Amino acid sequence: MTTATQPRGGARTADHPATTRSERLRRATRWWPALLLVVVFTVPYSALPLPGLLDGPIGSPGNLQLLALCLVFGALATGYDLLLGRTGLLSFGHALYFAAGTYVTNTVMLEAGLSFAVSALLGLLAGVALSALLGAVSLRVSGIGFSMVTLAFAQAGSILVQRDPGGVTGGEEGRAAPAERLPASLVGIEHTANLYWIALAYLVLVLVVVQWTVRSPIGRVWEGIKENERRVEVLGLRPYGFKLAAFVLAGTLAALGGIVYLLLTGGATPQATTSDFTLSLLVMVVLGGTGTRWGPMVGGILYTWADHRLGDLAGSGAVAGLPSVLRVPLSQPLFLLGALFVAVIYLLPGGVVRLPARLRGARTSRATADREEVLQP
């Protein structure tokens, strides 16, 4: 009777398969988010120019302001995707909770004279309470009815802000934040880097919270609700409570984003209360890829960057020198943004983040076809 022995020299057998190149590559790139975070954190110290993408050095105050806004809206889109991409809820009222964080924080500082920390806490609590109250009402209906109810609430909130009851909202002009109530390290152009880091911290917090909840048991229930809500009910679970949890969590993250936005812009404006704001979040999520880990963030960053930079392109001398048939449409930033969105949706179904997978699939298909062609007699 022979005994199987281990091959000399430590050679691997079928029970110990050699690590493939793809596995080694996967292990090597496992920590790329941490490396990217380090790079992004050091952006304020960089004097590297990016012609065409930014004006001047990356670390200039103007560019840091734009990059901070990109990070904030990337986080907002990620939080909104908890409803759209993870639970299948199409809400048109998400701007309300963002506005609650902005307006309540600013109003408390102006009217009550409280510190920023206390005002921000009250603004966050206002966003939690408002999302819980309106979510409890809106989720009594489903489908298009739910979307219409959230739209109605958003319109009511926008009208209330613009009517300026008691002079606390500033109406169509909004109200500037009181500089004396804000931390000194966050006021002034020389402190733009601090605001950038706050925006980055907000993005990291949202990504961590969203990924943790999505991977938790409640996240699996959200996925089941999105796929087939009736099946979740058959399993003995009540979808209403799980949907309300997603609604409140998304609203809370939006309210926190409103507070960060207040610091970045130095005031509260009614543009943040309109349904157009929520539609912009919807476009960001679809642009990046709904229900994906990084898609909403990428979509939010790209949309915000394009929204600001395409305005400069529309007013540039290159566009002004074109024939009128081209100059008129290209001088409209919204036209350029819409054309870009349509192109991405048409050419990259599923969002921008699915582009690498599509390229790998196309490369694999081409390699398979070439192999079959070689093997043919």
- What are the pLDDT digits (tens) for 93-121? 999 999 999 999 999 999 998 999 999 99
As a whole number of angstroms, the distance between CA 294 and CA 311 comes to 26
- pLDDT at position 361 over 90: no
pLDDT one-digit tens code per residue, 306-325: 888 777 766 666 666 677 76
What is the predicted pLDDT for the residue at 21? 64
Of all residues in the chain, the percent with pLDDT exceeding 70 is 82
Evaluate whether residue 284 is within a structural domain. Answer: yes
Evaluate whether residue 140 is within a structural domain. Answer: yes
For the chain, the average pLDDT equals 84
Across residues 202-221, what is the average pLDDT?
A: 95
The answer for residues whose C-beta is within 8 angstroms of residue 130's C-beta and 6 or more apart is: 96, 97, 100, 251, 255
Task: Write the CATH number for 221.
Answer: 1.10.3470
Evaluate whether residue 301 is within a structural domain. Answer: yes
- pLDDT at position 6 over 60: no
Evaluate whether residue 252 is within a structural domain. Answer: yes
Across residues 160-171, what is the average pLDDT?
A: 86
Q: What DSSP designation does 221 have?
A: H
Q: What DSSP designation does 96 have?
A: H
Evaluate whether residue 245 is within a structural domain. Answer: yes
Domains contained in the chain, number = 1
What is the predicted pLDDT for the residue at 349? 79
Evaluate whether residue 320 is within a structural domain. Answer: yes
pTM: 0.85
Range of the domain at 362: 58-375
Across residues 23-29, what is the average pLDDT?
A: 63
pLDDT one-digit tens code per residue, 233-267: 888 889 999 999 999 999 999 999 999 999 999 88
What is the predicted pLDDT for the residue at 151? 92
